[in-house]
Structures are given as C-alpha cells and as structure tokens.
C-alpha cells in the first residue's frame, strides 16, 4: 500500500499523469494523507518583497504550458459538444482529475494557476484531500446516493448537519435558514420571502392570484442597483443590470433601479467627491422608494451586493451600506444582502458585510458559490407562514453540506481567513505597483482580501491581457466594462500572489 501511495504522490506522478485512477486514489487517501506531496514554492523575481516560502500540500509548484489555450483537444471537444448545445461561452475543457489545489489542468495538459476558480466558487482548491476523504467515508455514502426532497422528506440527521455547518457561520441577527440549490434560486426565493413578509397583514391567499390580479397578486417591487447582478432567472433578471446579453430579448418586471456609487481612486485622494457620490445615490434610493409607492408599486425590499462583482467590482463605503439599511427600515422595506459571490471568506471575513461593522446588517443574506450549495439566512419576521410557499423539489443537496463541513473545518484549522488577508495584501500591493509602472495600461486597483480587481484602459486591452496571461499559465476573469477580477481559492498563498505578479508583469512588459 505504501509503495503505491509513494508512487501516486511522487513529483513525477503529480507533474505528469498519475498512473492510479482518481477513484482508486480517493480510496487510498482514506488510508493515509501523510504521503501527500509537499513542494516548495518557486522563488519570486517580482520587485516587491518576496513572501516567505511555505510547504504546499498536494499541489504543483508552478504553471506548465504545452499548447496555446484552447489547445487542439479542447477545440475538438468544443466542436463535438457544439453538435449538442450552444458552446459560445466555453473557454476550454478541463482535466479535473489532474487539477490540484490552486492549479487547474486543461484537456491538453496545460497547468494554470487559477485566480478565477469557476467564477469564485472553489473554496479550498481542486481535489483537496479532505474532500476526497469525505467521498470515500462509508458513513457519507447515503448522502451521495440518495437526494431527498428536503421540503417534505428530509433525512433524520438534517437538523444536526445544518447546525454543524451553515448555522455555525450564520450572519449576525440571522436566526433562520432556507437551503436552496444555487445562487439564482436562492435570490428568487429570497425575493418571494420579502414579498410574503410585506403582505403578511393582507389576505393574499385569494383565488384571483391564479389570474395575476390583486389582492392575491399585489403589484409590489424590489429596488436594485445599476451594475448589480443577482441571477438569470426571470425574477432575478429584473434586478440584474450588469451586461446587456443577460437581459436581451427577455421580458422584465417594472421595478426601480437606483444608481450605485462610482468611486474614484485612490480613495484617500477623493474622500470628499466619493462622499458626495454616495450621498447622491442614497438620496436617489429614497426618492425611488417614495415614487414607486405613489405609482402603486410599493418597494417591498432592497437588494444589494456588498461588492458588485459581475458589474465591475464596484465598492462602496461601510457608511453607505449602513445608511442604505436605515433607509430601507425607515420605509418599511426588507433589506437583502446578496452574498452569493462575496460570501465564504474571500474578503478576509466570512461575510463581506461584516466589514460594515454593524450587528444588524440585513433582514436576508443569500449565499451560494463557495458555500457549495445555496440558500439564504433570514430573521424570524421573514419566516413564511405556510408550507409550500417557499418550495421546490430538492431545496438543496445534503451531500454538498458534507463537503461544506470539511471546508469549514479546513478554514478554522488552517486559519484561512487570516491567510486570505495576508495574501490579499500581497496581491493588492503588487497591483498598486504594476499600475504605477504601467499607467497607460492599468488603473483603479481595489479590493478586500483576495477579492480584488484592476481596470485596463479599455475592454479590448482587458480581453487581450486575459488571453496573454492565460497563455503564460494564469487564469483570470473579466467583469464590468474593462475590469480584471481576481477570485482565487482560500488556499491561495502569498507565494502564489507573487507567482502571478511575476507572470503578469512579463505580459505587461511585452504588451504593445
């Protein structure tokens, strides 16, 4: 057994292809994790101070590129899949069996440092040994084999597992939890909960609701923000305002849209201007709430992201969000913090709204992505009064809750939120230096933790930089009109940040 493990975790096996299949490797992991490969990170040549070298378990030491991306195998697979479905958004195909930690391997054997992580949804890297071990634990088999309809027939250990996992990281003031399967359905049902709460004093259980008439179907609204992204289902699309392609040709609800602050950077040089901008947006929020009430479409809830992610990594101050929360309360609107992308630790706190420094941040907090499933926390007041009002077949997945349990254990045991803060400082400091060195290409570096972004001079430059960086072995994402976003896993270390900065510096130096 040990000889097989030694071969599986030898440098040659990891840097090439493992000779043992992934299912077999999973079984072997349950016997011993101490034989995982430890590789010292390669040295940094970046101009800033080199981070201390650390041992990294079960991970490669650097990117390794064999072909352009997408390579020939990815192109052939894309052609094959194109006969079945639309492939316009596909970048390349992946070999997830060979991916490790912070490194994603594609179908052509290219190994890339991944700072995009499946649109910010990988919490502790690829094929983490703790998750592999959970798969092979006989006590977990039932959760993987059987997927119950949680709303009517949950497993007997379901309350215990929720207390152990999701409720153990509940936001301040959140006493209740509703599990769901993804970000969109989490927000969609959170909206429904706000509408139900708003109408709690009205007899809404009326026959006329089947025909979309009042009082059973009241003409209520949700206030959202320009640049926001809350999902692609019909209700969520009415609050999504980040890209035209998301909404093109799709009918939408007539709901109010407020401006989100457009801060100027560096923040310390534009404190007065940014304060005025936030005040302008808050005034517009209050005006819209009043106008929509006068139109006969009262605002039942306000939804906002702590950082507008898809819309361009747009930040606002803690003071802005606290005042926004107070405006919602003043006008009797529920306040919904959408933490689908920001939740789970990427900002250096488990929930991005914790940076606001208030004990009463919201009435509803939705989550998904790094939480591995979906759902929303809410206060007692937003608990629906009847069964089936918030309902679908699965309402989540208990097997993902098993993985989340392991993720939370790793976060606590390895102090990953502190790690995120350290590596985030290294990443952001490097971005500051690069925008100083290449002011004709980069500007507006910003972020919290490793949840960072920087602007290119235009969208064409941004897209070209993404492709050139990918060809050198680093996977990044774009957002907004011209922003590059960084979404590494929580196991992203300082030496990974410097590894990226070295490569990005090379790309910028060569860029014409």
Query: pLDDT tens for residues 172-194?
Result: 989 899 999 999 999 999 999 99
Given the residues 108, 338, 363, 455, select the one marked as catalytic. Answer: 338
Look at residue 247 in the predicted model and tell me its pLDDT: 87
- The answer to whether residue 507 scores a pLDDT higher than 50 is yes
Is 229 catalytic? The answer is: yes
Q: Which listed residue (58, 191, 225, 229) is catalytic?
A: 229
- Ranges of beta strands (E only) in 101-185 are 103-105, 111-114, 176-180
pLDDT of residue 199: 87
β-strands 334-338, 299-304 pairing: parallel
Contact status, residue 314 vs residue 307, Cβ threshold 8 Å: yes
Q: Percentage of residues in the chain with pLDDT exceeding 90?
A: 82
Continuous H helices in 165-214: 183-198
**d(Cα 419, Cα 493) in Å, to the nearest integer?**
7
Nearest of 118, 313, 287 to residue 228 by alpha carbon? 313
SS3 state at 88 = coil
274-279 contacts at long range (C-beta below 8 A, 24 or more positions apart): 274/317, 278/316, 278/317, 278/319, 278/320, 278/323
Half-sphere exposure (Cβ direction) of 128: Cα atoms closer than 13 Å = 20
Helices 398-413 and 129-136, interaxial angle, to 10°? Answer: 140
Q: What token pair was written down for 72?
A: 């020939």
pLDDT digits (tens, 9 = 90+) for 134-172: 999 999 999 999 999 999 999 999 999 999 999 999 999
What is the band of 26 on the pLDDT scale with cuts at 50, 70, 90? very low
Confidence of residue 50 (pLDDT cuts 50, 70, 90): very low
Residue 338: active-site member: yes
- Say what the pLDDT of residue 33 is: 34
Q: Rounded to whole angstroms, what are the CA distances from 2 to 9, 33, 131, 269?
A: 10, 11, 21, 60
Question: Which residue among the candidates 349, 369, 370, 493 is catalytic per the annotation?
Answer: 369
Residue 457 tokens read as 């001079």
Is pLDDT at 322 greater than 90 in this prediction? yes
Tokens of 114: 């991944």
| Average pLDDT rounded to a whole number, residues 326-335 | 97
Q: How many other C-beta atoms can be found within 10 angstroms of the C-beta atom of residue 417?
A: 17
Say which residue, 199 or 506, is predicted with more confidence. Answer: 506
Mean residue pLDDT across the chain: 89
Residue 393: active-site member: yes
Location of structure tokens 């941040």: 361
Q: Which residue has the tokens 């098993």?
A: 402
| Cis preceding-peptide flag for 66 (omega within 30 of 0) | no
What residue ranges in 357-466 does DSSP mark as E strands? Answer: 364-367, 374-378, 442-448, 451-456
Q: Is the pLDDT of residue 43 over 70?
A: no
pLDDT tops 70 at residue 49: no
Q: Which residues contact 337 (CB under 8 A, 6 or more apart)?
A: 171, 304, 305, 306, 351, 353, 361, 362, 364, 365, 366
pLDDT value of residue 399: 96
Give per-residue pLDDT as tens, 103-140: 999 999 999 999 999 999 999 999 999 999 999 999 99
Give the closest residue to 357 by CA, choosing from 384, 398, 321, 307: 321
Q: What mean pLDDT do residues 196-208 have?
A: 61
Three-state secondary structure call for residue 41: coil
Where helices occur in 295-415 by DSSP H, the ranges are 318-330, 398-413
Tokens 């250990």 appear where? 157
CA distance 158 to 144: 14
* Active-site position among 54, 393, 436, 459: 393
pLDDT at 320 over 80: yes
pLDDT of residue 3 exceeding 70: no
Report, as an integer, the average pLDDT of 76-101: 98
Stated pTM of the model: 0.88
């Amino acid at each position: 057994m040990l000889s097989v493990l030694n071969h599986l975790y030898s440098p040659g096996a990891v840097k090439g292809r493992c000779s043992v299949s992934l299912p077999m490797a999973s079984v072997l992991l349950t016997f011993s994790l101490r034989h995982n490969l430890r590789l010292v990170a390669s040295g940094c040549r970046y101009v800033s101070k080199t981070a201390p070298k650390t041992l990294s378990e079960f991970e490669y030491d650097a990117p390794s590129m064999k072909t352009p991306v997408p390579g020939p195998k990815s192109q052939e697979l894309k052609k094959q899949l194109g006969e079945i479905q639309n492939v316009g958004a596909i970048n390349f195909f992946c070999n997830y069996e060979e991916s490790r930690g912070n490194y994603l391997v594609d179908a052509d054997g290219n190994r890339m440092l991944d700072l995009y992580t499946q649109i910010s949804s990988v919490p502790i890297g690829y094929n983490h040994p703790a998750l592999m071990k959970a798969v092979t634990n006989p006590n977990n088999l039932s959760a993987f084999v059987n997927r119950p309809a949680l709303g009517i027939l949950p497993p007997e250990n379901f309350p215990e597992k929720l207390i152990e996992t999701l409720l153990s990281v509940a936001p301040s003031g959140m006493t209740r939890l509703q599990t769901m399967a993804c970000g969109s359905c989490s927000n969609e049902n959170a909206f429904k909960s706000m509408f139900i709460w708003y109408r709690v004093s009205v007899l809404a259980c009326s026959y006329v609701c089947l025909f979309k008439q009042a009082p059973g179907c009241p003409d209520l609204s949700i206030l959202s923000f320009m640049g926001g992204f809350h999902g692609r289902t019909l209700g969520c699309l009415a609050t999504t305002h980040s890209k035209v392609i998301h909404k093109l040709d799709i009918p939408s609800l007539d709901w109010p849209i407020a401006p989100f602050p457009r801060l100027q950077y560096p923040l310390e040089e534009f404190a007065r201007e940014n304060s005025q901008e936030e005040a302008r947006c808050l005034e517009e929020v209050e005006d819209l709430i009043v106008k929509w009430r006068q139109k006969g479409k009262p605002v039942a809830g306000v939804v906002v992201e702590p950082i507008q992610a898809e819309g361009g990594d747009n930040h606002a101050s803690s003071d802005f969000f606290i005042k926004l929360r107070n405006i919602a309360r003043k006008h009797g609107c529920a306040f919904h913090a959408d933490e689908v992308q920001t939740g789970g630790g990427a900002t250096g706190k488990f929930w991005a709204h914790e940076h606001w420094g208030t004990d009463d941040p919201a009435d509803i907090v939705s989550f998904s992505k790094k939480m591995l499933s979906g759902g929303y926390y809410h206060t007692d007041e937003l608990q629906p009064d009847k069964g089936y009002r918030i309902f679908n077949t699965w309402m989540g997945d208990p097997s993902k809750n098993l993985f989340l349990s392991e993720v939370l254990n790793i976060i606590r045991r390895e102090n990953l939120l502190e790690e995120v803060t350290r590596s985030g400082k290294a990443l952001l400091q490097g971005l500051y230096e690069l925008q100083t060195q290449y002011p004709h290409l980069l500007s507006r570096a910003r972020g919290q933790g490793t949840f960072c972004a920087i602007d290119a001079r235009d969208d064409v430059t941004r897209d070209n930089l993404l492709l050139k960086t990918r060809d050198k072995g680093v996977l990044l994402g774009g957002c907004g009109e011209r922003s590059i976003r960084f979404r590494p896993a929580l196991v992203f270390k300082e030496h990974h940040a410097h590894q990226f900065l070295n490569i990005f510096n090379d790309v910028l130096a060569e860029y014409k």
